[in-house]
Structure 1
Amino acid sequence: MTATEHMTTGQRIARARYRNGWDQATLAEKIGRSVSWLSKVENGRLPLDRMSVVGQVAEALNVEIAELTGQPYRHDTAELDSGHSAIPGLRLALQHASMPGGAALLGSREPRDLAELEANVKLAERLRQDARFSALGEVLPGIITDLLISTNDERNRDRAEALMLRACHMARVSSNLLGHHDLGWTAVQRELVAAQRVGSPELVAAAAWDLCGVWLHEASVDAAKNAALAALDQIEPHVGIGGETIKALWGALHLRAAVAHSRLWRAVEAESHLAEARRVAVDLPGSGNVFQTQFNQVNTTIHAVEVSMELGRPREVISRAEDVAVAEIASSERQAHYWTCAAAGYLMNRKESDALDALLRADRIAPQHVRNRPLVRNLVRDLRDSGKHRREREVSHLASVMRLA
């Protein structure tokens, strides 16, 4: 482990500030905070428990979000390394899939039958929902490569492109989780190409939904918000006459808009988009998961917890968390996300033991997801260093397996 891997988010902020030649007063003024607040962040006495705040600081410092989070993180076992070993192969597969004539560079390789590929995509989607990113990384590059060859067959092009969009979504999610945000952007660009080639409102909406996702991960919040609103305008004429798929995507885009507005601290707009998502979800299947959006009633309540967290409303985070029937959602990733948001809320309310319980529960459900999240790492480090609890052994163990200095 290098010295920079040991740096906290606060230390990384201080480094970027020094590089700009700014004192604490200068940066504090740019982000609308006090010098005392910034000093506590840089010294590790105050956790950065919201991506909205991290993104604001990154924008003021003119750095990419990964510079402040320290991603990508590496782990000591292949299982917990969450698919890092697959990144070179995934990058090459996406490079081929994204360049004009990329299929011609693959030689005489024969793709698998489209029916087999579709079955493979479905199995891979299960791995993605279960947050089993190491296993996903083993199969995803081959799926993308075979689909690229299949898109050259005019008879099956639209079907292959639709599958390509689904495969590239999984590439986007795993790349962003691991901190390879440039690769996440490459994946979503290929999704947009697939949607354009097929032209169906459903694929256009699905690609736009994932575009919002990659921008939220990069803390490009205005861009994510604008993309969500533009996509909603584009698909609105189809919602009233379309089936459940387009309605679910309409709802999922409203959830993206709600998160984006919450990170911009625009509470009225965030709550408005949440309300529309709730309205739509009532009439759709409780197990809904079109295009891996997990758009259903439970996920709208999980998003409500996240929105309250990003808006900095501690009591509301907890009250909304109590309304989530989290066991009913068939996604380990979503369940773990819920528990990490709840943990942040408990810590905001100075309920350290409850926060630790929530983090441990999230880690049991989806360790590959949890241990790669900057938010979780900040929470664990703060719990370990605060000394405001009696469970030092459990906190120290979690910090150790996450390789936190």
Structure 2
Amino acid sequence: MATEHLTPGQRIARARHRKGWDQATLAEKIGRSVSWLSKVENGRMPLDRMSVVGHIAEVLGVEISELTGQPYRHETEELDSGHSAIPGLRLALQQATMPGGAALLGGRQPRSLDDLEANVRLAEQLRQDAKFTALGDVLPSIITDLTVITADQEADRDRAEALMLRACHMARVSSNLLGHHDLGWTAVQRELVAAQRVGAPGLVAAASWDLCGVWLHEAQLDPAKSAALSALDQIEPYVGADDMVKAMWGALHLRAAVAYSRLWNQTEAESHLAEAKHVAEALPRDGNVFQTQFNRVNTTIHAVEVSMELGRPRDVITRAEHVAIAEIASSERQAHYWTCTAAGYHMNRKENEAVDALLRADRIAPQHVRNRPLVRNIVRDLRGSGPLLRQRELLNLAKVMRLP
């Protein structure tokens, strides 16, 4: 069977066989029953939490993508959900991160910093809307122009590096959400260099926030947690005097909350979540410092996610009901909320409500939704759960996702 057609359960079984383990051995190591593992491998139990997938990957000693099957590619550009942007983005990031990369760009005449800043703002809206194909049309040239400018001794390099950090953040997010995690790491490396060169606490915090994001996507939970805690310590002296740094302080607490929830540490997860909520109350309702969307609504979205990762389905639904989702100006965040809510409904055996939530998410940000392992696992399970009110729409979603 071609590997792209393997289910997550079949991928787990393949990795288990490669280790020479039977089901009883793996079940014991992950703290689950043989019956549970058998159902997962046979496709009768969904993997609806990244905390569970990450734990299994860690025990098996494989990368998370080996179990999720990312990136998910399709035969036509119409269905390919943004992957056509990756080759150009990869080349731009390679040139931006290699020593002397600007010299390889010949006599390229970059746009002015004013023009580039305007283009970065437009690209950031595409990123918030999870329009990866459109973002891929503009982002590589922005990064390439900034590669030339940051190597120019006479340029305003601090301003250029700050723009490079914002551009590479967009590259990091889109790469991770599309499942190209190695490219996400390349992008965040350039962010860390930019932050180090400028030295501003806000930039340092933003790069650290993205570093946590890379490790969360790779299910490297202890490094993600440690990076968040280290950054919080580093910027704490600057929090009181600068709202931008205060917002990053809150955003890093949200990163820590997610990391601890995936480590199944409810006490620490809820503690960091509470601190983030406290900070958000003192900041603008539409806050979006460094594309973090750190504001009151996003802290409530994170609360839903934390409950989902902790495996507390009733809390997922209770918290979801208190999210003013229409108030956040980010299609990606809205879709993320609806997918987490769908997972909660699915855990609660409310299958029709789960389907409604998934279809709503797909209408809002299809390129984001169709590349999420969580969504694909839930859709696969719902597809075989029996008659549903919106069965035809669900089957169509499974078809365009090309689910095995």
What TM-score do the two structures reach when normalised by structure 1?
Answer: 0.98
What are the superposed Cα offsets for residues 78-129 of structure 1, whole Å, 9 maximum, x if unpaired?
Answer: 2442321121111111111101111011111110111000000000000000
1:66 maps onto 2:68 in alignment = no
Instruction: Report the CA distance shift for 1:388/1:226 in structure 2 as closer, same or farther (over 3 A).
Output: farther
- The 3-state SS of whatever aligns with 1:134 is helix
1:271-282 map, 5 Å: 271-282=270-281
Shift of 1:75: 2.9
Shift of 1:216: 0.2
Query: For 2:257 and 2:396, how far apart are their aligned partners in 1?
Result: 35
Query: For 1:151 and 1:126, how far apart are their aligned partners in 2?
Result: 24
* Unaligned ranges ≥5, structure 2: none
- One-letter code of the match for 1:280? V
Q: Does the CA-based 8 Å contact 2:81-2:370 persist in structure 1? A: no
Task: Find the counterpart in structure 2 of residue 171 from structure 1.
Answer: 171
* Unaligned ranges ≥5, structure 1: none
What are the superposed Cα offsets for residues 365-385 of structure 1, whole Å, 9 maximum, x if unpaired?
Answer: 000000000000000000001
Aligned residues between the structures: 403
Q: Does the CA-based 8 Å contact 2:11-2:66 persist in structure 1? A: yes
- The 3-state SS of whatever aligns with 1:149 is helix
- The 3-state SS of whatever aligns with 2:384 is helix
Query: For 1:390 and 1:83, how far apart are their aligned partners in 2?
Result: 30
Task: Find the counterpart in structure 1 of residue 217 from structure 2.
Answer: 217
Query: For 1:3 and 1:99, how far apart are their aligned partners in 2?
Result: 35
Task: Find the counterpart in structure 2 of residue 49 from structure 1.
Answer: 48
- The 3-state SS of whatever aligns with 1:240 is helix
- One-letter code of the match for 2:198? V
Shift of 1:390: 4.5
Task: Find the counterpart in structure 1 of residue 189 from structure 2.
Answer: 189
- One-letter code of the match for 1:50? R
- One-letter code of the match for 1:30? K
Q: Does the CA-based 8 Å contact 2:177-2:371 persist in structure 1? A: yes
What TM-score do the two structures reach when normalised by structure 2?
Answer: 0.98
Q: Does the CA-based 8 Å contact 2:205-2:248 persist in structure 1? A: yes
Task: Find the counterpart in structure 2 of residue 317 from structure 1.
Answer: 316
Task: Find the counterpart in structure 1 of residue 24 from structure 2.
Answer: 25
Query: For 2:78 and 2:299, how far apart are their aligned partners in 1?
Result: 31
**How large is the Cα RMSD of the aligned pairs?**
1.0
Q: Does the CA-based 8 Å contact 2:359-2:394 persist in structure 1? A: no
1:265 maps onto 2:264 in alignment = yes
1:82-101 map, 5 Å: 82-101=81-100
- One-letter code of the match for 2:138? V
Q: Does the CA-based 8 Å contact 1:314-1:346 persist in structure 2? A: yes
Query: For 1:193 and 1:80, how far apart are their aligned partners in 2?
Result: 35
Shift of 1:133: 0.4
- One-letter code of the match for 2:224? A
What are the superposed Cα offsets for residues 22-62 of structure 1, whole Å, 9 maximum, x if unpaired?
Answer: 10011111111110110010011110000000000000010
- The 3-state SS of whatever aligns with 2:77 is coil
- One-letter code of the match for 2:214? V
| Worse overlay, 88-97 or 48-57 | 88-97
What are the superposed Cα offsets for residues 202-246 of structure 1, whole Å, 9 maximum, x if unpaired?
Answer: 0000000000000000000111000000000000000012x2110
Q: Does the CA-based 8 Å contact 1:352-1:388 persist in structure 2? A: no
- One-letter code of the match for 2:166? R
1:233 maps onto 2:233 in alignment = yes
1:391-402 map, 5 Å: 391-402=390-401
Query: For 1:109 and 1:147, how far apart are their aligned partners in 2?
Result: 11
Task: Find the counterpart in structure 1 of residue 204 from structure 2.
Answer: 204
Q: Does the CA-based 8 Å contact 2:369-2:375 persist in structure 1? A: yes
